[in-house]
């Protein structure tokens, strides 16, 4: 488990570095406003992607290798059906979102790029979750993250600001769609070694899983959108830069999330005792904290790294970075609580907590952002993340793990 977490951590670190470099170049070449447009479009696309996937991804991860049939012909049919549904949903939702963007005064070029981004991010989300369900953590970072971001990074680095931020966004979107399709193809062509395959009890995504996924992405991606709407593109760029840099604190957590749900699900299927599951979760949590604490100390001590990297500064940017750093530190110290909770069949409790946190974050961001600017939005996210992770941590260690033997039948049936 530790080796798997370290390998996933290295791959996620690489993907995070590529994304940071991409947004650093976008910020340097197109300014805070250009970065705000780029990041808010990506954030909106991530939310639409989750709505299009409809919670299927988390269900797949919780079901582990049983998520799709082992034989290649059956796998191809199952994957194609998922892709077809997800892409049509993304197009439909993208049409509505694009119409709203045009109605509030967004340019036709920016709206077109946004519309193109929706199905690409939806396919990337499906590709990532299917790959993780099959215990292919490396591929889940390579295809939907590292490869497309590297292509867009190369494009921005070579052409600089000659063609504008919209062209850079379109290149990223095209690369994302193609690389995600390759990731799906890599598992559609193989035969899984899963012994004694049993179809999951239901292929229907429960409302609670859908709420968990939507709430999670809203909690992580809404800040840039709120800042763009309430404060303008420049402030959205500052908030995005702070989020991107401070997210380096949570590298270990993202690495654990890449494999913890399917690992716990597979352990329960194999009849792993409570002690073994507890040890697995504890080691993952320690790994998250071991990276988070020293990294956060560096960012808290040297917040000027934000303006040095992105070559722009705004009032309160150091404070914004510090608040987001503390936010990610709390999240990392709690460990992969939500993913483990779902894998143990406690999806209803996880859905309640994450939904309250996401809705509270949006309301607080709008209120505090209007009063305090980017600092207020960061404080709102800190409150939401701290409260949700604290609540889930208490539930996980005091109630769910001590009763893990009774969670086996619930873990794969997320109804």
Backbone angles phi, psi at 84, to 5 degrees: -60, -45
Whether 51 and 93 have beta carbons less than 8 Å apart is answered as: yes
Confidence (pLDDT) at 272? 64
C-beta of residue 261 within 8 angstroms of C-beta of residue 62? yes
**Cβ within 8 Å of residue 308, ≥6 positions away:** none
* Integer Cα distance of 378 and 382 in angstroms: 6
pLDDT for the residue numbered 58: 59
Q: Residue count of the chain, please give it.
A: 415
pLDDT of the residue at 235: 86
CA distance 45 to 113: 10
* Token duo for residue 213: 């996924």
From the number of C-beta atoms within 10 Å of its C-beta (0-12, 13-18, 19+), residue 1 rates as: middle
Q: How far apart are CA 262 and CA 119, in angstroms?
A: 26
Domain boundaries in the chain? 2-411
Q: Which regions of the chain are under pLDDT 70?
A: 1-9, 55-73, 159-163, 190-206, 254-274, 312-315, 404-415
Q: What is the pLDDT of residues 303-354, one digit of tens each?
A: 888 878 887 666 678 899 999 999 999 998 898 888 788 777 788 899 999 9
Q: Are 89 and 125 in contact (CB under 8 A)?
A: no
DSSP 8-state symbol, 208: H
Q: How many CB atoms lie within 10 A of CB 360?
A: 16
Give the pLDDT confidence score for residue 274 in this predicted structure.
65
Position 121 scores a pLDDT of 93
Give the Cα separation of 132 and 139 in Å (integer): 8
pLDDT tens-digit profile of 132-188?
Answer: 777 777 788 888 889 999 999 888 888 655 567 888 889 999 999 999 999 888 877
Q: Which residue has the tokens 């399917």?
A: 262
């Amino acid at each position: 488990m530790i080796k798997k977490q370290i390998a996933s951590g290295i791959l996620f670190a690489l993907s995070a570095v590529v994304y940071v470099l991409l947004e650093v170049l976008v910020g340097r070449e197109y300014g805070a406003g250009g970065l705000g447009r780029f990041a808010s479009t990506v954030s909106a696309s991530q939310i639409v992607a989750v709505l299009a996937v409809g919670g299927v991804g988390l269900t797949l991860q919780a079901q582990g290798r049983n998520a799709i049939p082992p034989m290649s012909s059956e796998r191809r049919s199952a994957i194609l059906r998922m892709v077809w549904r997800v892409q049509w949903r993304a197009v439909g939702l993208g049409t509505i979102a694009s119409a709203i963007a045009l109605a509030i005064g967004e340019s036709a070029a920016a709206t077109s790029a946004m519309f193109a981004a929706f199905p690409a991010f939806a396919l990337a989300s499906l590709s990532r979750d299917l790959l993780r369900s099959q215990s292919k953590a490396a591929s889940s970072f390579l295809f939907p993250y590292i490869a497309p971001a590297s292509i867009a990074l190369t494009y921005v680095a070579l052409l600089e600001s000659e063609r504008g931020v919209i062209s850079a966004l379109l290149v990223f979107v095209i690369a994302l769609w193609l690389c995600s399709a390759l990731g799906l193809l890599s598992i559609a062509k193989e035969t899984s070694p899963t012994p004694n395959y049993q179809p999951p009890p239901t292929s229907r995504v429960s409302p609670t899983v859908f709420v968990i996924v939507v709430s999670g992405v809203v909690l992580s991606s809404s800040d840039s959108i709120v800042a763009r709407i309430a404060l303008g593109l420049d402030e959205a760029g500052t908030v995005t830069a702070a989020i991107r840099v401070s997210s380096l604190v949570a590298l270990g957590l993202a690495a654990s999330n890449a494999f913890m749900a399917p690992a716990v699900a597979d352990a329960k299927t194999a009849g792993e005792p409570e002690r073994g599951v507890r040890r697995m979760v504890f080691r993952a949590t320690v790994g998250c904290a071991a990276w988070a604490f020293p990294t956060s100390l560096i960012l808290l001590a040297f917040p000027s790294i934000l303006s040095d990297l992105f070559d722009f500064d705004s009032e309160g940017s150091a404070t914004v970075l510090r608040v987001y750093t503390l936010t990610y530190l709390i999240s990392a110290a709690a460990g992969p609580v939500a993913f483990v909770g779902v894998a143990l069949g406690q999806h209803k409790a996880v859905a309640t907590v994450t939904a309250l946190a996401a809705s509270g974050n949006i309301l607080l961001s709008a209120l505090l952002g209007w009063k305090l600017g980017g600092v207020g939005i960061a404080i709102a996210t800190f409150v939401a993340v701290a409260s949700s992770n604290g609540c889930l941590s208490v539930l996980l260690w005091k109630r769910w793990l001590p009763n893990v033997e009774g969670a086996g039948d619930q873990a794969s049936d997320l109804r």
